[in-house]
Amino acid sequence: MLFALLVHGSPSGAASSLAALRFAETVLSEGHAIARVFFHGDGTTHADAMRVTPHGVTDIPARWQALAREHGVELLACVGSATRRGVMDAREAKRHGLSCSTLRAGFELAGLGQLVDAALGCDRVVSFGG
């Protein structure tokens, strides 16, 4: 079965964020696939390279990065939500007159059309939080 995931909660304050990650890891371990994970609203803070996870706390964004590398899962952050939270790739930063990207490696900015595309091309879309 092919899944797409929608994550609304931040990595530091929402239990749904960790639940989404554990769901993804379980789905993959059972032989299913995940086409993409779309982060929306506060979920886009997973893609913030400037966020630091305190020592002794699960680094959820780093685990998403590892999952993406190991299984070829796309990690997409909603461009509108991310930009409002200061998460930008080089192109968006330049467009807003800023000097640097704050997008974490392995994540991409995307529009809501990418979420619709995932919904049309997958067997199931599972939403966490929000």
CA distances to 80, 84, 90, 103 from 97, rounded to whole Å, are 16, 14, 10, 16
Going by C-beta distance under 8 Å and a sequence separation of 6 or more, which residues neighbour residue 22? none
Cα dihedral sign, 95-98-99-100 = negative
Query: How is residue 71 written in tokens?
Result: 């299984």
Q: Which of 20, 27, 78, 87 is labelled catalytic?
A: 78
Q: Is 100 a catalytic residue?
A: no
Catalytic residues: 78
